[in-house]
Structure 1
Amino acid sequence: MPKSAALTDELDIDQFANAIAADAAPALATALHSAGPRYPWEEIVPDMVRRLIECLWTAGEPSSPDKRRVAAAARRCARDWVPLQEIELCCQIVLVSLFRNLWNTVRPRAASDLLRASSMAASGLPVILTVIRRAYIEETIRVGGGQAAAQLVVATLSGGGDVASVASEAGVSLPDNGVIAALVPVPADDKTEPPLFDEVPPGIRAQLPAGALCAPTPERTRLLALLPAPDSCDPETEPAVRIAATRLLGACHATYGWGFVAGLAGLTGGETAETRAVEAKAATEEAIATSALLAGLGEAGRAAFLSDTVVGAALVTRRDLRLRLAARMAAVREREQLWTTLLALYRCDLDRGRTARLLGIHRSTLDYRLNRIEQLAGCSPTSVRGIQLFSAGLAADALGP
């Protein structure tokens, strides 16, 4: 389609581009959480608008010079560590602002041209985003070295972007069936500031199974690992996944001196890029929420799926139930020796021999303490009813009032 004089003749391109940049600024500041208002978008956005005006309603395909200019902007953002998802979202915000202003600016006789331009812009945007993604990934890997590809994939998982496309551009093979593990430190009384993660130390990378990825999340408060699982199994029933996550926890503890937990969530490939992105984001959020729950329960060294934490998950939102359990368990909770014995018994999976060894006591002493707990609480901690009551009571105590 030839360039429409009805559109372009009525516009001062430079003035219009600056107006679009100003119009988009509030949305960029609020929607782009990492870069936001601190990044000099005013230097990048006007040129982006000019590229859109000059190419998207001529042939609908950016010219080679236009692609080079867009790629240069993407490389600059990569060097400044602006997340890829925020650059892609910036393009969409700018495009919306562009057409909102065009509709308010051109005369009615240009409406048909503007409709055609809108259609061409919609078809041309994916081309521009592909140019941006490729240039951004190439620059990030050039600047960041070997771990940059894993960081890109993890940042995309956290942001809910098209992780399959990013992984493909970065040369990373994603498992069709896998598990996301969110590794977070457990708060300790004698340590007020948990570690922040700028990289994955060699000791932790050494424990990753073949085909796994691990990198810090963009806010640096946790490590996110993508662990492969056999295609034919439910990841939650695969022992190798739990073993791998537990080894990572041990490596985290050895590296940072903190206890860690791992929230796990299964990840399967969706039918389309959009469904894959939605499912990946949901799995990432579930893994992070589960890790927060485990940390709240103080279960350092534990790797678990949400289904493994049913009791804790139910108690998080039921303060009334936590208070009732605290009252029911008060007689045992007040006796530190009995409470410590109860904790050890469940950590040892009701194995009395292991529990006695852990506590450094004789089996008969352990049996006496368990009988005393039964007398105080009204049920045996090793009965089915007792296991339900006491495990819930321990979880309620860890979560607090």
Structure 2
Amino acid sequence: MIRLPAAGGVLRDHTPRATPLPLSTEAGPLASRTVFSAAHVVADPYADTTPDGPAAVDWDATLAFRRHLWAQGLGVAEAMDTAQRGMGLDWDTAAELIRRSAAEARSTGGRIACGVGTDQIAAGTGTLDGVLRAYEEQLALVEETGSQAILMASRALAAAAEGPEDYLRVYAHLLRQASEPVILHWLGPMFDPALEGYWGSSDLDAATDTFLQVIAEHPDKVDGVKISLLDAGREIDVRRRLPAGVRCYTGDDFNYPELIAGDEQGFSHALLGIFDPLGPLAARAVRVLDTGDVKGFRELLDPTVELSRHLFAPPTRYYKTGVVLLAWLAGHQDHFAMVGGLQSARSLPHLAHAYELADDLGLFPDPALAEARMRSLLDVYGVTR
């Protein structure tokens, strides 16, 4: 029994699981869906850093976690918002992360796609030409590593653009330059408030039309789109309007089971931050889906939604804290420290409930280790037993 803090300053009892959820060790790629896990970075806890200084990364632990994801048959979406791009991970360190992870992917045969942004320049300080140069620099680096490029939403572009035509110009230029089809990422303001009004309008219908126009004008250069708006209806609408051959990768951490399962008119692939802590379970569920068993897929994945909605609760951009907590509790890293000091971004009751929900799902390979580590965190906060 472990006593966990809840809202209102009370403690409640939780009985940890004795055994983890049994998961197969089947290897090999997934068949019916392309699935990426957006992976977190492991901080170097011994580095003498400051929240606004360059990030210090534990490279061995960071790359080991990517090997863990590849071993499940998942792809790795590298240097995305889950890796704290713009929230502790600076561009120089992100570039090194991309190089190292791409080399690791080549050596293990893992699939990798990497985020291309403009975080060399601060939002509000760049011109459209400066935004283009920043995008070009990052696109060149990602392509040099042999990775697929994910064109991420840009804070600098959101600040510099005066309307939809500026987005059309920038993205048309980048897509013409891309040597291989890219993934376009529409990240909503719940994940990053600086992206409010992206695609030139705060009206989602107008923004959607501009987004689809970019794709329609360059369908041969767009492998797929990742939509992170936490709006299943919006994603389904976009999915049905995509040109033939352009995939939809769900980025909806609230509604992913139904979107991946799909309907009579299609389905979404996946590029999800929640598949960082759910990696083995997500892979098992998709393998069930590979057999055509939609019901079995939903039975495995639907119970995880409560945990995901908790981790991604407002302010959504701090979901990374819960993701890293679960990685520590699961034994993927030896500490609960994050670049930028973001381990302090969620309250103890929030973290305690994340542990409780993950434990109920059987996500921890060693439940006793997870309990011991959760107790050590409670001790740091002075929780009486």
**What is the TM-score with the length of structure 1 in the denominator?**
0.28
Greater share of helix = 1
Which protein has greater RCO, CA pairs closer than 8 Å, 6+ apart? 2
